[in-house]
Structures are given as structure tokens and as C-alpha cells.
Chain A
Amino acid sequence: MPDQDPVRVAVDAAYRDEWGQVVATLIGITGDWDLAEDCAQEAFAAALTAWPRDGVPRRPGAWLTTAARNRATDRLRREATGAAKLRQLAVLARDPEEPPLEEIPDERLRLIFTCCHPALPFPARVALTLRTLTGLSTAEIAQAFLTVEPTMAKRLVRAKRKIKEAGIPYRVPPAELLPERLNGVLAVLYLIFNEGYDEDDDRRALAAEATRLARFLVRLMPYDAEPRGLLALMLLHEARRGGRTQDGVLVPLEEQDRSRWDRELIDEGVEVLEGALAMRRPGPYQVQAAIAACHATAPNMESTDWVDIAVLYAELARLAPSPVVDLNRAVAVAMADGIAAGLALVDELASSGRLDGYHLLPATRADLLRRDGRVEEARAAYQEALVLVPTEAERLYLSARLREL
């Protein structure tokens, strides 16, 4: 049952909206990631007792930041090494009852670029982004990534230690590094989203967090097109989640009930994408979102603009070459120019060996052969795909297709 107590609701909302900002500000002031997290945690605990008594502050974020800062001051006062940090804190110290009127600068951009620094191992970037920016607990992150809490805790401790000991700067990279580093941030957010593109509730929370992070990145980097492209891509995927599976079985695009797609999310996704494209700075996320938009706005499989989609996949292969993109292009070509043309591309990919062990290679081949009426070859390809298939939903789908032959 959801908790209806209005103060509790306000604290929960503040946790969702302000956690990252409080942690980011405290790291900026103290340079100490653990201290920042601990003090943010304590500030939220304090809100749970203070807000019912004094009322919810007009600006919860400012109240929480001040409370966290005061706790940091108390802690550093007890440590001899805290003297220099204390001086910095003193400059910013204010009464929690009187939040500063000027806007607190959004430090989360510095935080996210630091979390996604290329000197950190990729899984650590993902974990650190979730822990410090969204406030998911270590246990929740561990559960979402199907690992145990001590493993995840160790990953976070090591990452924070490396930031400190290797001197990874806490900053938004300068212009010459920005495009490359921004790509790193977008890759982390998209991975988090994809991990959450699942029917399991624990993991679905990841998709929501990734979308929220993409939204805030768009707000903080309004002049960059690719964050918008990524947000549009997420919205357009999320919009179609409803039709993707039926009773735990994957439903192929052509059989999906398009009335179950979320029209509002599709409209928003298309709008965000148009905003990105208007900047005339193309990038792989915008192209992927454009492909998703072609599917999301088509009334059915037949009226889908496959020629456009094939062209977009060719563009994507140019911007971000990958054999998986080539495989998707092959499907679009099969739909646009005929099965034979698509199969030729799939066979070319298969003989290159670049997708060995990837279940969607034989699964795609099987599907095209089935459409072409080549039953025996299709059967062999489905069987090959079933050996490699990683998820239950896809296994059930492929087995059903095999039985139908």
C-alpha cells in the first residue's frame, strides 16, 4: 500500500528529485564522496523528524543541502584533517531555516561526468552513477544487476578510491574533451535503461531512473543534440513496452497490439527527437530514435516505411559501426527490397564470423527463411538460435515459431 502521509510523500519526492543534487554539492565542497553520501543520508533522516514538526520547507532541496552541509561541518570539526575543508564550508554555511535565495548551481553535471570518467571500469561507472545520482541503495543496485550486495559495495568502494587516489577531476570536461566524454555518459545511461527494459519490477526501476537522468541531462546541456536523441530513444522504447510480451512470451513487432502502445510517450518522444534533429548535429542516438519513431508512428507492419528505416540503419552503421546494426539493416532491407536482398546481407554477416554466438543472427535468418517458405532451412536456423538464446521470453517465442513450421 502506498504511504499517503503528505510529509512522507514530500520526503520521498525530495529523495527522488534532490538526492543527486545534495550529494553532488557536498562532494563539490568537501571532495569526500563517502562523507557526502553519509551526510546526505543523515539530512533525509533529519527531514523525516523535522518536516512533520515544522512543515515541509518551501524549497526542500535547499533545506536538505544546508542540513547535509551542517552535518559535514560537524564531522570535519571533529577531525584535525578537516580544517581546510571547514574553511570552504564556512563560506557557504547558512541557517537551514533560511535557504539562500539565489539558485544553487546544479552540481550534478560535474558528478555525472566524474562518475562516467573513462579511467573507471565500465561496471563501476554504472554503479557509481546509480548510487550517487539516483540514490538507489547498494542493495537495490546489486539486485538489479543480479549480483550480491558485498560485490556491488566493493565495486563502489574501489571506484571511489580510484577517483581520489588517481586524481580524477570533479568537473565538467572542457570543450575539447566534451564530445568524447559526453558519449561515455550517454553510454552509461543507455546501458542502465536497457538493463531495465525487462518485465521484472526491480529491473524496470532502472529504466525509469535512466530516463530521469536523461531528462536532467537534456535540461543541463540544452545546446547538445545527442542527450535529446537518447531521451527520445528511451521514450519511444518505453512507449512500446506494453505490447512487447504477452504472458511472458516475446511478441514480434508484426503481431504486437499497437493499441497497447503509449500514445502520449510516443508523441513526447517524437517531439524531443524533432528538437534534437533541428539542431542539425547528427549522432547515433538521434538516428536510433528516428528508427524507433518510424516504428512507433506506423499504424501497422505493412505501412511502416522500411525504405526509410534501411537508410537510417545505413547512416547508423556509418556513425557507429557494429555488426548488430548491420543485422538490423539486413532485416529492414528484406522488408524494403525483398527477402533475397536481406538474406544475402545476413549470410554475408554470418560468413564474416563477427556475430558468432549471437542468438539473433540465426533467429533473424530463421525468420527470413520462414517468410520465404524455406521450411527445412528455417527449422535448422531456429534450432541453432534456441541453443544460444539468453532470455526465457525469447526462448518461448522461438520454440513456438519452430513448432508452427
Chain B
Amino acid sequence: MKYALLICDDESRSPSNEVLAADPEHDAFLEELGRRSEVLGKARLRPVADSTTVKVRAGETLVSDGPFAETKDVVGGVIIIECAHLDDAIAIAESHPYARWGGVEIRPVWE
């Protein structure tokens, strides 16, 4: 099964990449990730303040500042994994540091 793990929070913490790299919990997460899955791709996303949303309506392109939907929690990272089943994806998600203050949404990849 392929899943996208959407790493979400409200951006109130936004630890830098260096801080994350030095975090033992993040290390434990990477270990769990490697043990339970094959990583097909991953990306940490810049804050939504840097995002741009594009919509085309009636042939007209609308470019706006900010995320697609205004919500408290936003996607801050995406990891695409291949693993045996949902329980493995859940185990990986629960070990991600963001799960403790934000949340991880597990979305099966449409194949």
C-alpha cells in the first residue's frame, strides 16, 4: 500500500530543520519510518505565509496569497511511503514529533 502522510500543525512552533535534525524524537521517527516502510518521497513545506494559490474560474486565472483553505492546522510536510498496511502507517504517524502537538493525516495514494 502507498500512503501520503500529511504532517500538520498550526505553525505556532515551526522548529528549524537544524532543530528537527537534533531532536531525538525525530531520530526515532526516522528509524520507525525506515523499519516499517520504503520512503518514495518526502518534502518539508515552507509556512503557509509563503504559499500561493491558483484557481481558474470561467477561463480566468485567479492568483491569491495564502493556502487553499483557511484552517487552524495546515500541511507542513508530505511523506510518501510504501508499507504493508494501515497499521504500519499508523505506527509511523504516531512516532512523528508533530503528532504530539499537531496531527498526521494518512491518505492512501490513488493508484
Give chain A's interface residues, CB within 8 Å of chain B: 117, 119, 165-169, 173, 177
Q: DSSP class of A's interface residues: helix, strand, loop or mixed?
A: loop
Q: Is there a chain A Cβ closer than 8 Å to B28's Cβ?
A: no
In order of increasing CB-CB distance, the 5 nearest A-B pairs are A167-B1, A169-B85, A167-B85, A167-B86, A168-B86
Q: Is there a chain A Cβ closer than 8 Å to B60's Cβ?
A: no
How close is B6's CB to chain A, nearest CB, in angstroms?
Answer: 14
A-B contact count (CB 8 A): 23
**Residue among B1, B3, B87, B89 with the highest chain A CB neighbour number at 10 A:** B87
Q: Is A169 a contact of B86 with CB atoms below 8 Å?
A: yes
Q: How far is B63's CA from A295's CA once the two chains are assembled, in angstroms?
A: 69
Q: How far is B87's CA from A169's CA once the two chains are assembled, in angstroms?
A: 7
Q: How far is B84's CA from A169's CA once the two chains are assembled, in angstroms?
A: 8
Q: DSSP class of B's interface residues: helix, strand, loop or mixed?
A: mixed
> What 0/1 pattern do residues 29 to 58 of B give for CB contact below 8 A with A?
000000000000000000000000000000
Q: Is B108 a contact of A166 with CB atoms below 8 Å?
A: yes
How close is A124's CB to chain B, nearest CB, in angstroms?
Answer: 15
> What 0/1 pattern do residues 80 to 111 of B give for CB contact below 8 A with A?
00001111011000000000000000101000
Inter-chain contacts of B87 with A (CB < 8 A) = 168-169, 173, 177
Interface size range on B against A: 10 to 19
Inter-chain contacts of B85 with A (CB < 8 A) = 167-169
Inter-chain contacts of A166 with B (CB < 8 A) = 86, 106, 108
CB < 8 Å neighbour of A165 from B84, B90, B108: B108
> What 0/1 pattern do residues 1 to 38 of B give for CB contact below 8 A with A?
10100000000000000000000000000000000000
Q: List 17 A-B contacts (CB under 8 A).
A: A119-B86, A119-B90, A166-B86, A166-B106, A166-B108, A167-B3, A167-B85, A167-B86, A167-B89, A167-B108, A168-B85, A168-B87, A169-B84, A169-B85, A169-B86, A169-B87, A173-B87
How close is A182's CB to chain B, nearest CB, in angstroms?
Answer: 15
Inter-chain contacts of B3 with A (CB < 8 A) = 167
Q: How far is B84's CA from A177's CA once the two chains are assembled, in angstroms?
A: 16
Inter-chain contacts of A167 with B (CB < 8 A) = 1, 3, 84-86, 89, 108
How close is A150's CB to chain B, nearest CB, in angstroms?
Answer: 26
Inter-chain contacts of A117 with B (CB < 8 A) = 86
How close is B106's CB to chain A, nearest CB, in angstroms?
Answer: 8
Q: How far is B3's CA from A119's CA once the two chains are assembled, in angstroms?
A: 14
Q: How far is B105's CA from A119's CA once the two chains are assembled, in angstroms?
A: 11
Inter-chain contacts of A177 with B (CB < 8 A) = 87
Inter-chain contacts of A168 with B (CB < 8 A) = 85-87
Inter-chain contacts of A173 with B (CB < 8 A) = 87
Q: How far is B84's CA from A166's CA once the two chains are assembled, in angstroms?
A: 11
Q: Which A residue sits closest to B110, measured CB to CB?
A: A165
Inter-chain contacts of B84 with A (CB < 8 A) = 167, 169
How close is B87's CB to chain A, nearest CB, in angstroms?
Answer: 5
Inter-chain contacts of B108 with A (CB < 8 A) = 165-167
Inter-chain contacts of B90 with A (CB < 8 A) = 119
Q: How far is B90's CA from A166's CA once the two chains are assembled, in angstroms?
A: 11
Q: Which A residue sits closest to B2, measured CB to CB?
A: A167
How close is A403's CB to chain B, nearest CB, in angstroms?
Answer: 52
Inter-chain contacts of A169 with B (CB < 8 A) = 84-87
Q: How far is B86's CA from A173's CA once the two chains are assembled, in angstroms?
A: 12
A-B contacts besides A166-B108, A167-B108, A169-B87, 9 pairs, CB < 8 Å: A119-B90, A166-B86, A167-B86, A168-B85, A168-B86, A168-B87, A169-B84, A169-B85, A173-B87
Q: How far is B106's CA from A41's CA once the two chains are assembled, in angstroms?
A: 35
Q: How far is B106's CA from A165's CA once the two chains are assembled, in angstroms?
A: 12
How close is A28's CB to chain B, nearest CB, in angstroms?
Answer: 15
How close is A164's CB to chain B, nearest CB, in angstroms?
Answer: 10
Inter-chain contacts of B86 with A (CB < 8 A) = 117, 119, 166-169
Q: Which B residue sits closest to A165, measured CB to CB?
A: B108
How close is A326's CB to chain B, nearest CB, in angstroms?
Answer: 29
Q: How far is B1's CA from A168's CA once the two chains are assembled, in angstroms?
A: 10
Q: Which A residue sits closest to B85, measured CB to CB?
A: A169
Q: How far is B2's CA from A167's CA once the two chains are assembled, in angstroms?
A: 9
Inter-chain contacts of B89 with A (CB < 8 A) = 167
Q: How far is B106's CA from A119's CA once the two chains are assembled, in angstroms?
A: 10
Q: How far is B90's CA from A128's CA once the two chains are assembled, in angstroms?
A: 22
Inter-chain contacts of B1 with A (CB < 8 A) = 167
